[in-house]
Amino acid sequence: MPGAAVLSMQVSGVAAEAPVVRAGLLDWASQTAVDVRPVLQTVAITVAVLFVIYKAVQSKFSFGTIIVSALAAGVFIWAVFNVTTLRDTVGEDLPGGSSSGSEPGESEPAD
């Protein structure tokens, strides 16, 4: 059947081009994430400052509330700017996480 041969060639041609499209899409998504990161960090700082101002006004400028909300905003900003460090630290502490040392009970590989 001549139609079946054409159909199989078209399907194999689409399958061969699919990884190229996916790689381009992943590259675009990765580059977009890198480009958007400073904008999101700026938005996070703005939100944190507005949060402290809002809590200060809401509490009628109570000193304790301002201090606590500023500390919370500081932790939030630190987490936003150090998300990769935080991820690596948590990954090392969790079982099965990536750590530089070997797990107890594991034998060292022979050279």
Name the nearest CA neighbour of 72 among 94, 92, 52: 52
Contact 44, 82 (CB under 8 A): no
Position 72 in a domain: yes
- Residues 40/80, Cβ–Cβ less than 8 Å: yes
Q: How far apart are CA 52 and CA 77, in angstroms?
A: 12
Q: What's the rounded Cα separation, in Å, for the pair 12 and 16?
A: 6
pLDDT digits (tens, 9 = 90+) for 40-89: 999 999 999 999 999 999 999 999 999 999 999 999 999 999 888 877 77
Domain that includes residue 75, residue range: 2-93
Provide the domain count of the chain.
Answer: 1
- The answer to whether residue 102 sits within a structural domain is no
pTM: 0.56
In a domain, 25, yes or no: yes
Residue-level pLDDT at 96: 66
